[in-house]
Amino acid sequence: MALALMALCIALIAAAGCSSESGNPQSAGSDVTRDELILAVGTEPEMGFDPTTGWGRYGSPLFQSTLLKRDDDLNVVNDLAETYEVSSDGKVWTVELRQGVQFSDGEPLTAEDVQFTFETAASSGSVLDLQNLQQVEAVDNDTVRFTLKQAQSTFLDVLITTGIVPKHAYGEDYAERPIGSGPYRLLQWDQGQQLIVEANPLYYGEKPFFQRLTFLFMNEDAAFAAAKAGDVDIAYIPAAFSRQQVSGMRLENVHSVDNRGIMFPVVPAGGENEQGEPVGNDVTADLAIRQAINIAVDRQALVDGVLEGYGTPAFTVNDGLPWWNPDSIIEDGDPEAAAALLEAAGWTDADGDGVREKNGLKAEFTLLYPAGDLTRQSLAIAAADMMVPIGIQIQVEGKSWDELRKQMHANAVMFGWGSHDPLEMYNLYHSEKIGIELFNPGYYKNDKVDAYLDAAMKAVNAEQAMQHWKNAQWDGETGLSARGDAPWAWLVNIDHLYVVNEKLDIGKQRIHPHGHGWPVTDNVVDWKWNE
């Protein structure tokens, strides 16, 4: 605790000691109308602020602009793009750029900068998947043409999440000293402590109300302590702190698709991958086991108990998003129905020890979670307890991520995902993604689901892809949801919780994605200070 308080003091002193260019910020507890904020809303980006390596995928890139963006209702609207067109075969995307845009150093943003950004991202081996990009050309100063190897409806999301960097100012230290055309520009970054940004006077869009933002990098305990002391205007907190009142601040809970769920190996045990790691699990390979767990688990009870009520039951990786199929919802919290399903499938408790068996195989397996993640640990323990009445025994174990990666093909794992990009569904369930990074670690394969996912990806636009995404989840006969093959038991979507100064208006928050980055700042230009 002493170390945490010391770190807090250092961070706050640093925040008060901003450069002499613009004077000292007003304190977070000031009662006067002001245009500066102090925030503790997430961890420090390890890779810095370079969009070509992934910065800005989970929230506004702050320093950079994107060609397209989503509005508060997740509709796609123009940003740097004035217009865009897609060819009839879906392979050529032509973007006309907004006129008169400047980078924060005064240089104009042109089609060459867009070309440079995407070529750099494609060659960097980053998290951006641009393998389908055949060519990007600057047709003229204001026109960019993207040529894909094959149609890809999700290329739209690449244009939404990739911030444009300046060709003339991009170098090895760009991630530490970003220049962009976004609403803010970097003023000071004290790594490990704080980031200070100021409004970009050359920004072409709506001018932000707040002229300076100071981001403090704290763990959740320290951030909450700073909020209680009146030293920050907004802080991200876990559900465990949500019942505590903070003077002068209110609790804001934002719905999300930041989900948690159990991934099951769906193939029998006995195999190995190329790395010599075990693959398969004889218990979870049985469809009846997976479906019974999905039916028996009481998702609302998990929300109420583990998340203190701040969350929603999860049935897919994309609940509530435009490509979600509501038919994937099942009746859950029904141990009697789950037990009947197991009984019919030949899983019985013949010896009366409370654990079912089938052909000499006990209905027991291990559920892994990342050690140190208390929410995932609590969800795993609670879900395992819910399986006891139906005769399934689950051993819960915490592991490091290195250990998880080696054991995730043969054991159930408590994972977390959630994105505004339907590509995530493709990555998690398509058989071509088996064993690639963290994608499809359970070796799930359904040819009909693959066909739907392929059709969605190869559709010429997002609208044509929509029904294919929904059919992949459930088409009335099969699908990747709990109603179908049940390769996952999705449990909850976690509300993102913030304590916010009662005078700070953070606008209409969009459904948040997975908790990497700072998704709360996605609409930061709309934030206001009210007296």
- Intervals of the chain under pLDDT 50: 1-25
According to the model, what pLDDT value does residue 435 have? 83
Domains of the chain, start order: 1-44+191-255+496-531 (3.40.190.10), 57-183 (3.40.190.10), 259-494 (3.10.105.10)
According to the model, what pLDDT value does residue 515 have? 73
Q: What are the residues whose beta carbons fall under 8 Å from the beta carbon of 194, sequence distance 6 or more?
A: 11, 14, 15, 188, 214, 215, 216, 217
State residue 227 phi and psi, 5-degree precision: -65, -45
According to the model, what pLDDT value does residue 5 have? 40
According to the model, what pLDDT value does residue 516 have? 76
Residue type at 351 in one-letter notation: D
The two tokens of residue 428 are: 């998690």
Integer angstrom CA distances of residue 190 from 19, 48, 199, 247, 517 = 12, 12, 19, 29, 18
Number of helices (H), then strands (E), in the chain: 12, 25
Q: Which residues of 115-143 are buried (b: 16+ CB within 10 A; e: fewer)?
A: bbbbbbbbeeebebbbebbeebebeeebb
Q: What is the pLDDT of residues 105-146, one digit of tens each?
A: 999 999 999 999 999 999 876 667 798 999 999 999 999 999
d(C-alpha 509, C-alpha 399), whole Å: 34
Q: Are 101 and 85 in contact (CB under 8 A)?
A: no
HEC per residue, 17-58? CCCCCCCCCCCCCCCCCCCEEEEECCCCCCCCCCHHHCCCCC
d(C-alpha 468, C-alpha 154), whole Å: 13
d(C-alpha 511, C-alpha 201), whole Å: 29
According to the model, what pLDDT value does residue 21 have? 39
Provide the H-helix boundaries in 176-286.
220-228
Q: What is the pTM of this model?
A: 0.88
